[in-house]
Amino acid sequence: MAGATSWSFSENDFKQIQQHLQAFLRDANARCALLVDRTGQLVATVGDPPQFDSAAFASLTAADFSANDQLAKMIGEPEFASLVHQGEKESMFLADVAKRVILVVLFDQRTTLGLVKLKGKGAVEKLNRVFAEMFNRVGAGPTAPEKGLLEGAEDEIDKLFG
Amino acid sequence: MSMINYASREINCKLVYYGPGLGGKTTNLEHIYGKVSPNTRGKMISLATETERTLFFDFLPVDLGTIRGFKTRFHLYTVPGQVYYNASRKLILKGVDGIVFVADSQIERMEANVESMQNLYDNMSEYGYDLTKIPFIIQYNKRDLPNAAPVRDLQASLNPGWPIDDGAHQKVTPDPSHTGENLIDKVNNQWVGRAPYVEAVAVRGDGVFDTLKTVSKMVLKTLS
């Protein structure tokens, strides 16, 4: 492999992801759910629009999850599939999805950690299936389906950089 | 790992600034942050120690414009330069699309540069990435200092080139930024490729945008 593999998803994938997340938020009574890929890029946001810089939030989430992955290995665990950060009013629940993305749930006192975890488990299973299908569709694993997206766009690229 | 979001029509790419401690990686990002319009960049996040040394990373998202109706957004990261922080440094490389190696031109820092370059190769290969096949540029920073080593010496130590065995790529390719120099050339009967380089004084901003433009362009061209 020359570099990191790229991936992309269609509008239909996006719709399915959003539907699962919306149902989950309703069931868990949580405020907001974000999907962040392991490299720190925001994939989707559902629920109350976040009042913070979501790009920065996504990069810190990925770093947090990666650091905890390494900590897990150090103590002899293959991974920590989920993480919880509890505050006085606002809390976060993070869970791995298909080893490629992280589900981040923001919730407050209107619900409980137990309910978020319970409903989160079901949501992760559904999302795992969506991502598995996405990856199967483009071959054995995540590939670069968008290769050639910018084919013939060299002029536009050159123009962008003056 | 560039990510294409067809729903929001965005292309997201990840660039990592690598190099020895105190070489100017964070300074590069700070200059970009200061110069780019607030409409086209996000907030800069720095996870630093109390003495302002990068502990985990700096992060700055920048929008470069629209191509084929897709908004191209680059996420710029720096890594901690200190040898001690290798575990966190390696994490930042995950899914990288392009690398900028910020070398400290000072003669005294030559060994630190070489060690960091070796560390970059090692960390990349642990992820299964081949540095010679992904967009990669070297920035020779601090060119204004009196103890800066000649670029020729820095090139010999840090950018000696890698063999090119694929016949399709074996053709002399001039370096568009340096007249009379080639990025791909035949040396002693062996085809050799080198990373492009930029001379810089990051504290003044010299060469900072040249570096960013060159590597971003290389990344976008990998999608074409």
Token pair 């975890």: residue: A117
pLDDT digits (tens, 9 = 90+) for B115-160: 999 999 999 999 999 999 999 999 999 999 999 999 999 999 999 9
Considering only the beta carbons, identify the residue of A6, A53, A150 that sits closest to B220.
A150
The answer to whether A149 and A46 are in contact (CB under 8 A) is no
Look up residue A10 and give its amino acid: S
- Name the minimum distance, in Å, from the CA of A79 to any CA of chain B: 15
Instruction: Tell me the two tokens of residue B101.
Output: 């190696």
Contacts of A37 in chain B (CB under 8 A): 1, 3, 95
The answer to whether A59 contacts B75, with C-beta atoms less than 8 Å apart, is yes
Instruction: Collect all residues of chain B within an 8 Å Cβ-Cβ radius of residue A7.
Output: 1, 3-4
CA-CA distance, B79 to B58, in Å (whole number)?
Answer: 7
ipTM: 0.71
End-to-end CA gap in chain B: 15
For chain A, say whether B18 makes contact (Cβ under 8 Å): no
| A21 token code pair | 């997340």
Interchain CB contact of A53 with B (< 8 Å): yes
Note the pLDDT tens digit of each residue in B20-72.
999 999 999 999 999 998 998 988 988 888 777 888 889 999 998 888 888 99
pLDDT (mean) for B192-197? 96
What's the confidence (pLDDT) of residue B1? 65
pLDDT tens string B47-60: 888 777 888 889 99
Token digits for B68? 């084929």
Determine what percent of chain B is predicted with pLDDT higher than 90: 69
Output the CA angle B206-B209-B213, nearest 5 degrees: 145
